[in-house]
Amino acid sequence: MSLQGVKGVLRKLEVSHDENLTYSQMFLANDDLLPVPPEKRTWKAWNFVAFWIADSFNINTWMIVSSMVQLGLSWWQAWICVWIGYGVVAPFIVLNARPGSIFHITFPVVARTSFGLYGSLWPVFNRGVMACIWYGVQASIGGSCVFVMLRAMWPSVNNIPNHLPASSGTDTKDFMCFFLFWLISLPAIWFPIHKIRHLFTVKAVVVPIAGITFFIWCMVKAHGVGPIIHQPSTLHGSTLGWNMVASLMSCISNMATLVTNAPDFASRATYPSATVLPQLISVPLGFSIVSFIGIIVSSSSQTIYGEAVWSPIDLLNKFLDDAPSHATRFGVWFIAAAFIIAQLGTNISANSISAGCDLTALFPQYINIRRGGFIAAIVGICMLPWNLLKSSNNFSSYLSAYSVFLSSIAGVMISDYWIVRRGHYRVKDLYTTDRQAWYWYTYGINFRAYAAYIAGILINVVGFAGATGRTVPVAATHIYQMSFFTGFGVSALIYCGLSYAFPPAGAHAVFEEADVSDVEPCDEGLQDTASVDKKEAIYVSSEVAV
């Protein structure tokens, strides 16, 4: 193909845009990067409640709480860790969602305010890669749900011969089910964010019904709640304390993705207060209820089968052994189908949309949120995700390592909005390479943010080496066990300190949530909002009061 032909193909692949835009303008903006227009701000308070109820009902939530009991905690100690972990992480979600709900911009654009127009590309790339990896992991779990559902319908599915080599890490029937889940997920990626809320509404109704049905069914079969409820902790003293810390950090690490990209969904909020109390309440409540159901179901399984079956899908699979009745097969089919919806909703909310927003910011000329979601799906199938789920220890280690990078990004973003800029944005400067713009910094990179980001990672590096099998000091291990807080805290402190010593353009001394795009930028340094002509500023604080 000639060079002219290649250019023609590339031109056809471009997303729709104004033909008069320069290359730099096309790099900074497309329809999915610009502020969300009013007609697409459709997420009300109950949509956020439904979103988190839907997100909490997934296999991943069960796996985390099961790892706590397997670690040696009693059921009530594990449940306390769940309440504390998700209760602590909810305010971080609300804090980082705020600029999205106020200015209706997504995570990649919010990241420009703290990291710079070009400096934001690395955090966005980091988050995008993780979203693609997680897409594959959640799809692999969803594939196991498909297998159980198919087996309930056609028991012969269990006898499909394997034609894959051992080096593949899977077998024919498991890969077939993974591929089917991957395939049925593709239509959901097509829907835009402001419409996909209906999926979460359906999930918030169907999946809790299935979960409660599963809960009651297991207690009836076991004639009680099972022995795990009466099982004491096998850990004591400081060992118990640090294992509880590690357990609640697993809950926080599980939410690190959604803390970082909280502006993506908040940008679609009808009004900012919809992102506050609904999330503060529904996050800890939803995840704690699901975790409790998981504990009781697994406890009941020990009475039924003589061993605790921690994976709900493995337990449903056992229900299909030994010639089950038609009623049992239907019950298993319904619950497995609900878990498929659960995994689908989680994958769309936490991964495909996140990856779509991130890849849009990296290649805005060719990628929009929809295309980015499909790219995440392709990466998810190519990375052989089932290898990450072979043991709960590997899974927990992956979660901890994951949060190290994202917590440092969140630390910079949250401190920039709430402490350095105190709610003041110049939205028009997010889409220009003008050297006088607030977010140009130094050649488009805010080195304060990068110094803080790297410091937040470095404090956990030694502990991370210990998690991979190296011998490290106990103190480093404990620091790493609290990786989200240490990474977030260090990055936030250093960013605030550097911003105080070397104030960036747009730093303010008084908190007021406002888009001051129509106000001339002041010189580098702290700027008191009293000096800003409020008649020229576009203040939004009056309409966003919570």
Q: What is the CATH number of the domain that holds 202?
A: 1.10.4160.10
Conformation bin of residue 116: beta by default, left when phi > 0, alpha when psi is -120 to 50 = left
Q: How many domains does the chain have?
A: 1
Element (H, E) at 425: strand 424-425
pLDDT higher for 30 or 181? 181
Q: Is residue 254 part of a domain?
A: yes
| Euclidean distance between CA atoms 239 and 243, whole angstroms | 6
Q: Does residue 405 sit within a domain?
A: no
Residue among 289, 354, 275 at smallest CA distance from 47: 275
For residue 2, name the pLDDT band (cuts at 50, 70, 90).
Answer: low
Average pLDDT over residues 276-294: 92
Write down the mean pLDDT value for the chain: 84
Neighbouring CB atoms inside 10 A of 443's CB total 12
What pLDDT score was predicted for residue 75? 83
**pLDDT confidence of residue 391:** 53
Residue 535 pLDDT class (50, 70, 90 cuts): very low
Residues near 48 by Cβ (< 8 Å), separated by ≥ 6?
A: 265, 269, 274, 275, 278, 279, 282
pLDDT tens profile 476-506: 888 888 888 999 999 999 999 999 999 999 8
Residue 537's pLDDT band (cuts 50, 70, 90): very low
> Smallest Cα–Cα separation from 103: which of 417, 384, 410?
417
Is residue 517 a contact partner of residue 474, using CB atoms and an 8 Å limit? no
3-state SS assignment for residue 485: helix
CA distance 401 to 264: 23
**Per-residue confidence (pLDDT) for residue 529, from 0 to 100:** 35
* DSSP secondary structure of 62-125: HHHHHHHHHHT--HHHHHHHHHHHHHHHHHHHHHHHHHHHHH---HHHHHHHHH-TTTTHHHHH
Please state the pTM of the whole predicted model: 0.85
Q: For residue range 432-478, what is the model confidence (pLDDT) as tens digits?
A: 888 889 999 999 999 999 999 999 999 988 887 777 677 888 888 88
The verdict on residue 488 lying in a domain is: no
**CA–CA gap between residue 116 and residue 111 (Å, rounded):** 7
Whose CA is closest to 329, among 339, 317, 341, 338?
Answer: 317
According to the model, what pLDDT value does residue 477 have? 83
Provide the percentage of residues in the chain whose pLDDT is more than 90: 40
pLDDT band at 54 (very low <50, low <70, confident <90, very high): confident
Kindly state whether residue 18 falls inside one of the protein's structural domains: no
Residue 187 located in a structural domain: yes
Please indicate, yes or no, if residue 171 is contained in any of the structural domains.
yes
- pLDDT beyond 70 at 197: yes
Assigned token pair, 219? 């207690």
Question: Mean pLDDT throughout 332-361?
Answer: 89
The predicted pLDDT at position 253 comes to 82
DSSP state of 514: E
Q: Are 68 and 294 in contact (CB under 8 A)?
A: no
C-beta separation of 265 from 51 below 8 A: yes
What per-residue confidence (pLDDT) applies to 390? Answer: 65
Position 194 in a domain: yes
For residue 253, the enclosing domain spans 41-389
Higher pLDDT, 503 or 204: 503
* DSSP assignments along 248-290, one per residue: HHHHHHHTHHHHHTHHHHHTTBSSGGGGTHHHHHHHHHHHHHH
224-247 burial code (b ≥16 CB/10 A, e <16) = ebbebeeeebebeeeebebbbbbb
Judge whether 135 lies within some domain: yes
Phi, psi of 445 (to 5 degrees): -125, 130
Q: What is the pLDDT of residue 35?
A: 93
Q: How confident is the model at residue 545 (pLDDT cuts 50, 70, 90)?
A: very low
Assign 3-state DSSP to the chain and report helix, strand, coil percentages, each to 5: 70, 0, 25
Provide the pLDDT for residue 534: 38
Q: For the chain, how many helices (H) and strands (E)?
A: 22, 3
